């Protein structure tokens, strides 16, 4: 485990009780392109578009080994069904990413689960919600009110001012790329395509030198902020997963979690999943979420008493240092009941369908249906 020297208020000695792991899939081939992309006819054989690359698999396998080391005194050495619950979005790149992390975390060699001396791997089941019902990870369940709220955000005066400051960028990128670039989201789409092409080893066209990454950076980062700009949007997009995790932690604290041996819940999702979740917690700093970005939520119990604490950590990149996240109004080890109080506004207060009903007024066109994350 990493020694985190945190100089904020000293926390009493605690013992780890339950862990939630949320991470973005690893490096992948591009999902989207643009009309003037020199690689528009590229097949990305043998992977295909939007798929995990071999470099991505290596990165994730190492991340699994890192998680195994961090929690070696907490988890058993081998997989058992009671020990962990594993969930992914129903996307090939997230399912493959999760399978690769698990391979690094639970090698069965020299354990009772070893079944093949030539293969140091064991199968571990992964659950996924169908895309049209996913409210936790991919968040692709239909939500008209969210699309409407997003349009309202884009009409706000401060957002309009930001967009106006960059109107030349929108015009120039429209001309260069052949794509109708009108929103921050469009810029993010192009940015991530260029990033994926470069990571894949392709030479980027010369025009990008003047735009990528620096000129595009601010708007690309802002699109994640606009996406969960209001408390209501955070409740729709980050609230359901946060609620699920808090229910697990409350059950653990009350002694009612089933199976009682459960120690870890693991979720693999997308860039928006990570940013919406951290926006709901009010701890997202404006930046671009990277491939394999990792969030850890640890439930601890005070050694000397019955009090429970939650610690939040974030690492945007496997090469970066894991950093503690401090909820505004709390400390590094935040008491469970204090967390519940701090997040109450973003916990869903109605059924998903109810939260997603259009407000009175003109219905807005479906927006943000793109699949680039």
Catalytic residues, by residue number, are 25, 271
Q: How far apart are CA 252 and CA 232, in angstroms?
A: 28
Closest CA to 173 of 143, 207, 122: 207
In contact, 275 and 228? CB cutoff 8 Å: yes
In contact, 312 and 297? CB cutoff 8 Å: yes
As beta bridge partners, residue 324 has: 313
Closest CA to 34 of 196, 162, 166, 154: 196
Q: How far apart are CA 21 and CA 196, in angstroms?
A: 25
Q: For the chain, report the end-to-end CA distance as a whole number of angstroms.
A: 31
311-337 b/e with 16+ CB inside 10 Å = b? bbbbbbebeeeeebbbbeebbbbbebe
Closest CA to 350 of 236, 227, 234, 228: 236
Q: What is the CA radius of gyration of the chain?
A: 21
Handedness of CA 323, 329, 331, 336 (dihedral sign): negative
The two structure tokens encoding residue 370: 């793109």
Handedness of CA 25, 28, 33, 37 (dihedral sign): positive
């Amino acid at each position: 485990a990493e020694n985190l020297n945190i100089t904020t208020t000293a926390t009493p000695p605690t013992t780890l009780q339950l862990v939630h792991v949320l991470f973005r899939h690893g490096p992948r081939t591009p999902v989207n392109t643009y009309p003037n992309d020199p690689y528009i006819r590229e097949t990305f054989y043998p992977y295909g578009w939007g798929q995990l690359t071999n470099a991505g698999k290596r990165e994730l396998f190492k991340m699994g080994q890192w998680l195994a080391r961090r929690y070696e005194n907490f988890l058993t050495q081998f997989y058992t069904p009671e020990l962990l619950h594993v969930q992914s979005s129903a996307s090939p790149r997230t399912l493959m990413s999760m399978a690769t992390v698990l391979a690094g975390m639970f090698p069965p060699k020299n354990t009772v689960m070893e079944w093949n001396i030539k293969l140091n791997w064991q199968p571990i089941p992964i659950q996924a919600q169908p895309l049209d019902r996913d409210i936790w990870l991919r968040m692709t369940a239909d939500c008209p009110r969210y699309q409407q709220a997003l349009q309202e955000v884009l009409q706000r005066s401060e957002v309009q001012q930001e967009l106006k400051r960059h109107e030349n960028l929108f015009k120039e990128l429209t001309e260069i790329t052949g794509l109708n670039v009108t929103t921050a989201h469009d810029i993010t789409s192009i940015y991530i395509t260029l990033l994926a092409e470069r990571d894949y080893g392709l030479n980027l066209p010369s025009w990008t030198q003047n735009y990528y990454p620096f000129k595009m950076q601010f708007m690309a980062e802002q699109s994640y902020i606009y996406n969960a700009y209001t408390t209501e949007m955070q409740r729709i997009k980050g609230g359901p997963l946060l609620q699920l995790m808090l229910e697990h932690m409350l059950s653990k604290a009350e002694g009612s979690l089933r199976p009682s041996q459960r120690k870890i819940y693991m979720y693999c999702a997308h860039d928006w999943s990570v940013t919406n979740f951290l926006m709901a917690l009010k701890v997202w700093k404006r930046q671009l979420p990277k491939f394999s970005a990792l969030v850890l939520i640890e439930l601890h119990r005070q050694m000397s008493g019955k009090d429970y604490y939650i610690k939040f950590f974030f690492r945007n990149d496997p090469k970066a240092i894991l950093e503690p996240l401090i909820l505004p109004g709390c400390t590094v080890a935040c008491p469970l009941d204090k967390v519940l109080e701090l997040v109450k506004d973003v916990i869903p207060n109605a059924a998903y369908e109810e939260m997603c009903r259009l407000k009175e007024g003109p219905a807005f066109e479906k927006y943000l249906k793109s699949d680039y994350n």
